[in-house]
Amino acid sequence: MTEPLAKSRALIPELLSLAAPTVAQMISYTLMQFVDTWMLARRGPLPATAGSNSGMMAYSFLSLGIGVLWIVNTLASQSFGRKEYHQCGAYLWQGVWFSFAYAVCLLPLLLLAHRLFIAFGHEPTLATWEATYFRISLAGAILKLLGTAFGQFLLAIDKPKSVLLASVCGVSLDALGAWALIFGRLGFHAMGVAGSAWATNIGVAVETTVLIFIALSPSVRLRFGLKSWKIHRAEMAQLLKIGLPSGVQAIADILAWSLFCNWVIGAVGPMAMAANAFMLRYMVVSFMPAIGMSVAVTALVGRSIGRGQIDSARRAAHWGYALTGAYQALCGVCFFVGRRTLLTVFTHDPAVLQVGETYMIFGAIYQLFDALFINYNGALRGAGDTIVPAVITATLNWSINLAGGYLVARHVPQLGPAGPWIIATIYGAIVGVVMLGRFLRGNWTKITLHAPVPVEPAMNVPPF
């Protein structure tokens, strides 16, 4: 076995050991979202649609802050790779302070919730439920932001099992809370959509508490410099310099998709929105574990760069795609073959099923390109390459997916409900290939977030 191939294969256990708990964490989130939608669907298509639409809209506004906090992983991972452990804690605390500031900035949105969904043209009952879910979700924004900061820090310092433990605790309470609050069990009144939102906040609060408890344990606190909790200008500036483009990319991507579901699909009709909401629950089954793998790729790329091992960073990214691509392709096959059976888990309404089957076919195709985008975007983030990917994502998503989808929905009615998803699939193919090209071009290898260290000798490296 040649030395490059041996190094390539030796990287797999490290990637899997980091990715497995992270992927399991994302699977637990996916399961809870699936169960929440299923519970709401027992009360009819509209409550489930309201929870899906407003949950995505709330997360889209949160995503700018979350995108910034993902860079805690990048910066702490590179410090960890360089064995500058005290800096890991410094970056965590800057993320904590940023979380509080951003949560305050979100508060005015609570006053605009109902107007927002009415502006999308949703019927009054649906808009009222959506506004309720939206307000409750944003009221717990600080919990999600702090949980992201502490979770990314623990992943960076090689404690993925702690992150998994926290998510399992949170998801378990979320599931119990959803059952009790949606249907009125354990002495609670039936709250429907509002109960689902409150249950999610309860789960996030438990998860965040566990993460904080682990991060502040004596062994972690002393080794990684968590005693220094003050704002440090240099570290905060670094977090914002790299993190804000990441945050802009996140909100540009997720807000565009939220508008796609609420505005573009809303222009097709309420049954199309219901079908889209149910299809998205299966899409989440595919892309959430893929995001878990990309978070692991971010951490491993960051560590490799911190050690001065650029070739190891490349191998980590390519192996991440091999695993992610295989999984998402398998999901696509399942979506296509079992599309009607899968949808009947949520509804037996013939109109919803007819549209939903069409959407499941597009979802199956989209998986093939989504793997490229998710994986290599995570790899670029690990290197601190965030500005150009942000511009690419925002430009393509808002021009092709959102504007193009809306024009087709409004002005090409002969395509029917399929029209917007034809455009969305074209967008997915383009952005996936472009992100792969950005990584292969190699500009990320020239980015320096810390003082340079000696780089391992160049060698011919197999892609996997």
Residue 230 in domain = yes
Residue 79's Cβ-side half-sphere holds a number of Cα atoms within 13 Å equal to 25
Structure tokens at 234: 């240099």
pLDDT of residue 135: 94
Per the document, the length of the chain is 464
For 318-346, the pLDDT digits (tens) are 999 999 999 999 999 999 999 999 999 88
- Domain span at residue 83? 3-446
Residue 452 in domain = no
Angstrom distance (rounded) from CA 423 to CA 431: 12
Angstrom distance (rounded) from CA 276 to CA 264: 11
Residue 23 pLDDT > 90, yes or no?
no
Give the torsion sign (CA, 172, 174, 177, 181): negative
For 101-131, the pLDDT digits (tens) are 999 999 999 888 888 888 888 888 888 998 9
Residue 167 in domain = yes
Residue 451 in domain = no
What predicted TM-score, i.e. pTM, was given to this entire model? 0.77
Residue 460 in domain = no
Interior/surface letters 123-158, b for 16+ CB within 10 angstroms, e for the rest: eeebbbbbbbbbbbbbbbbbbbbbbbbbbbbbbbbe
pLDDT of residue 464: 35
pLDDT of residue 395: 93
Residue 233 pLDDT > 60, yes or no?
yes
Average pLDDT, the chain: 86
Say how many domains are in the chain.
Answer: 1
Residue 275 pLDDT > 60, yes or no?
yes
Spatial neighbors of 97 by CB under 8 A, at least 6 apart, are 231, 236
Spatial neighbors of 61 by CB under 8 A, at least 6 apart, are 106, 109, 138, 251, 255
pLDDT of residue 99: 96
Residue 455 pLDDT > 60, yes or no?
no
Residue 112 in domain = yes
Residue 462 in domain = no
- Does residue 408 come out as left (phi exceeding 0), alpha (psi in the -120 to 50 range) or beta? alpha
CB 294 within 8 A of CB 324: yes
Mean pLDDT value of segment 367-396:
90
Residue 454 in domain = no
CB 54 within 8 A of CB 282: no
